[in-house]
Structure 1
Amino acid sequence: MPIPSPTAAPIADVLIVGGGIVGVSCALSARERGLSVVLCDPGEARRRASYGNAGCISRSSLFPMSGPGLWKNLPNYLLNRDPGLRLDYAKLPRIAPWVAGFLRAANMKALRHAATALDRLMSRAFDAHMHLAERTDAAGLIKREGMLRLYRSEAAFGSAAHERGILAEHDVKFEVIEGAALHELEPALKRPFAKGVLYPETGSVSDPGALVEAYRKLFVDQGGRIESVSVDTLRPQGDVWVGSFAGGELRARQAVLAAGGWAHGFTQALGYRFPLAVERGYHIHLVPGEGPGLRRPIHDSGGYHMLAPMRQGVRVTSGVELAPLSAPPNPTQIDAAVREARGTLALGAPVENEPWLGSRPSTPDGLPVIGAAPRHRGLFFAFGHGHIGLSNGPITGQVIGDLLAGRAAAFDIAPFSAERF
């Protein structure tokens, strides 16, 4: 008996475009609420940002890339001298609206607004993950031993005092550690650091790609359907939404756009003009050296990189590169990160021949776009999470699941509205 093609399938309740952590989480939440769901995913797992991140389920990531400190660092950014941010000048005119919004957000008022908004997601992020993970065989991938931010000088530690003040206002727990206590907490450290700040509520994932795959399996086990297709267009047709791909179409009464770095093309085709950019990031795994192993993710604020213990080895992640999806890889940042990492930990040879490269969707104010599309009934947005997509995928899914079921979100999502642009 022939297997029916996607075009022959009945109309589903929900069509979700995007198979990363955000899309899968939305799909699971919709199934929990009794809706029939089709998840569209090209199946290129390694390209997903949720595959290649530092594995943090963060509690403390309340701050966007833009902020009051931008102006001091701007000359280094513009000259590509700062490993935390690299610009592809040939393509910069394409993201001029994003750049303008990014500069407008470089002030304390905008920073505080973003922190208050992001706290609504971050304070719920770990529990939302465990709600899913505990129903899979991958819950053991998640630990909660915190994340350690390291400062190479007293001046660097002091420059982040305003951030710690804002975190305290939002009841984010942290502990300042120095001297012998720092080495006792993380014996693997080679480099002398002036101070460290431990954020104990942050969780870590030892294989983010495997965790997302476990969530996908849970979705299928609960009656969800995954189509390994690359949707080209998403459009309304009467009372349904149609996702077109090479060789067919999928139809549903409601649709969710959770396409990450690829969301911009879909929204433009529907008449929206979001000031989006693509944050590209790199990682590579290194074999752990002799001696104690790394216990938790660490962020070296002076080296502009993170190191995280993974099943594959120690994952070294780079800063942000603003470049188009199609731009060729540029190893400048990850090479610099690896050099700095070797000064921090005892590390051996690279595990892979080439660094991984992934793309994340970025909004200028650092807030994702979550909620109903303002001009299209039955369409919902869930993109723009930047570097906090792994953290906030499941809680975003809960919000979208409620909206798809005709319920109000459990908390105020107005700051994430598409209408702010």
Structure 2
Amino acid sequence: MSYTLGSLPSSQPPRPDMDVLVLGAGIIGVSVALHLQKRGKSVLLVDRRAPGEETSYGNAGLIERASVVPYGFPREIRTLLKYATNRSADVRFRWTFLPKILPWLARFWLESSSRRLRRAASDMLPLIERSVIEHTALMAEAGIEHRARRGGWMEAYRSEKAFTAAKQAARALDEYGLRYDLLGPQELAAREPHLAGEFAGAVHWLDPATVADPGGLVTDYAALFERRGGTVIRGNAAELKQSGDGWSLVAGGRRIVAREAVVALGPWSDTVYKPLGYRIPLAVKRGYHVHIEPAGDAVLNHPIVDVERGYLLAPMTRGIRLTTGIEFADRDDAASPVQIDQTEPHARAIFPLGRRVEQTPWMGARPCLPDMRPIIGPAPRHKGLWFAFGHNHHGLTLGPATGRLLAEMMTGETPFADPAPFTMSRFG
């Protein structure tokens, strides 16, 4: 699909070149672009980098159908003390950042009460339930069904006490109809023969799908968008301007005008909404990963979390990906991969690992809102502006479902899920 962009004289009112500008070429933006395109909209996808090279690149590759309860603020005193003193690889604070993040943490703690957490789970469930289904549909359209692995993932526990608690927690989710196996040491060894025998047991979640190259998956989805006539262009989303009844942006040396715009910039969404006067409690949780070659003929069959040591190992195209927990720090601070250094010795003790594939760990930022729901819907004070960000660790999981929901809202279809829990108005 071709357009004549920015060809009108500046004295004339700008006439839209297309229907929608989608800002952000991660999994959320690409999914929104695809679903709008399927509904007959002309779409331009804009990002400063190529599709899938930012937050969408660095994750565990989980399409997390089993995560029906959001990740809430812990309430156990022992856990809180461990986190507060930086004695856990799960969570790490930059002390200089703590005063800035404290109001957000206080609201997160409030939203994590058992009653509010259950409400958040209920609100998120329609998206979670569609997560694998919507990915499967897009993969089929893109001809990349082979990217989805259907073996699920595992949570492994070192102590009997922790494993007993995990079994109880899994059974508490039976109302959601999730499939899982409770594995003792022998069953775990049968499914992961090269894993060292240091675990009391594991919960094997069977419903999720996994992918071995999350960034590559986004690239494939973007290629489908382009094959269908869409355009991907490099540009600075922060330069978005309201232009008459539409929205304009200078990208690739051209002025582009569209009737509507979608902000799907993940942790950089504030570069657009703040200048427009919106105050949204968007926080960033940073995370790290590094790829390590498996030693000899060792094979890891499933992503596996070493729960008590706070890291995940996932078989990826580039090797075994070691991913960390979260780091609270300013989004743009220099990287400090302390959690990688903390967890790598534990990982090497449970699985045969060789040399690092890349010496410098990758760092990314996860956009999070304190009530554990994304923003999906219209900007209340700006006609034709839409938001889709803040997916709280589940961007890869919820990308296609989010794209469908927002596209249905934008085109006047009956949404497959109630969009009310995701409205911006909940933040005033």
Both structures adopt the same fold (TM-score exceeding 0.5) = yes
Selected match of 1:98 from 78, 81, 104: 104
Selected match of 2:309 from 296, 303, 310: 303
Residue 239 of structure 2 is aligned to residue 240 of structure 1? no
Q: What are the equivalent positions in structure 2 for 1:269-280 lying under 5 Å apart?
A: 269-280=275-286
The match for 2:13 is: none
The match for 1:7 is: 6
152-161 or 387-396, larger mean C-alpha shift: 152-161
Task: Quote the RMSD (CA, aligned, Å).
Answer: 2.1
The match for 2:259 is: 253
Q: What are the equivalent positions in structure 2 for 1:42-61 lying under 5 Å apart?
A: 42-44=48-50, 47-61=53-67
The match for 1:285 is: 291
Q: CA deviation at 1:252?
A: 1.2
Q: Take 1:362 and 1:181, find their aligned partners in 2: how far apart are those partners?
A: 36
Q: Take 1:30 and 1:353, find their aligned partners in 2: how far apart are those partners?
A: 40
Q: CA deviation at 1:333?
A: 0.6
Residue 182 of structure 2 is aligned to residue 183 of structure 1? no
- Name the % identity: 39
- Counterpart of 2:6 in 1: which secondary structure? helix
Q: Take 1:84 and 1:232, find their aligned partners in 2: how far apart are those partners?
A: 33
Q: What are the equivalent positions in structure 2 for 1:364-379 lying under 5 Å apart?
A: 364-379=370-385
Report if aligned partners of 2:235, 2:250 keep a CA contact under 8 Å in 1. no
218-227 or 88-97, larger mean C-alpha shift: 88-97
The match for 1:407 is: 413
Q: Take 1:214 and 1:49, find their aligned partners in 2: how far apart are those partners?
A: 16
TM-score with structure 2 setting the length: 0.92
The match for 1:195 is: 201
Q: What are the equivalent positions in structure 2 for 1:324-343 lying under 5 Å apart?
A: 324-343=330-349
The match for 1:264 is: 270
Give the 3 Å change call, closer, same or farther, for CA 122–207 of structure 1 in structure 2: same
CA deviation vs aligned residue, 1:217-249 (integer Å, no higher than 9, x gap): 100111111111122233433311223569554
Q: Which runs of 5+ in 2 are unaligned?
A: 9-15
Report if aligned partners of 1:191, 1:343 keep a CA contact under 8 Å in 2. no
Paired residues, number: 419
Q: Which runs of 5+ in 1 are unaligned?
A: none
Q: Take 2:338 and 2:296, find their aligned partners in 1: how far apart are those partners?
A: 27
Q: Take 1:375 and 1:163, find their aligned partners in 2: how far apart are those partners?
A: 43
Residue 18 of structure 2 is aligned to residue 19 of structure 1? no
Report if aligned partners of 2:46, 2:233 keep a CA contact under 8 Å in 1. yes
Q: CA deviation at 1:291?
A: 4.3
Report if aligned partners of 2:154, 2:202 keep a CA contact under 8 Å in 1. yes
The match for 1:223 is: 229
Residue 137 of structure 2 is aligned to residue 138 of structure 1? no
The match for 2:92 is: 86
Give the 3 Å change call, closer, same or farther, for CA 377–30 of structure 1 in structure 2: same
The match for 1:65 is: 71
- Counterpart of 1:143 in 2: which secondary structure? coil
Q: Take 1:160 and 1:107, find their aligned partners in 2: how far apart are those partners?
A: 20
Q: CA deviation at 1:285?
A: 0.6
Q: CA deviation at 1:284?
A: 0.6
CA deviation vs aligned residue, 1:47-101 (integer Å, no higher than 9, x gap): 5111111111111123333245354422222221121111122233333442221
TM-score with structure 1 setting the length: 0.94
- Counterpart of 1:134 in 2: which secondary structure? helix
Q: CA deviation at 1:6?
A: 4.7
- Counterpart of 2:291 in 1: which secondary structure? strand
The match for 1:151 is: 157
Q: Take 2:246 and 2:207, find their aligned partners in 1: how far apart are those partners?
A: 42
Residue 9 of structure 2 is aligned to residue 36 of structure 1? no
Report if aligned partners of 1:70, 1:106 keep a CA contact under 8 Å in 2. no
Give the 3 Å change call, closer, same or farther, for CA 227–305 of structure 1 in structure 2: same
Residue 357 of structure 2 is aligned to residue 351 of structure 1? yes
- Counterpart of 1:43 in 2: which secondary structure? coil
Residue 170 of structure 2 is aligned to residue 164 of structure 1? yes
Report if aligned partners of 1:284, 1:317 keep a CA contact under 8 Å in 2. yes
Report if aligned partners of 1:95, 1:276 keep a CA contact under 8 Å in 2. no
Give the 3 Å change call, closer, same or farther, for CA 298–271 of structure 1 in structure 2: same
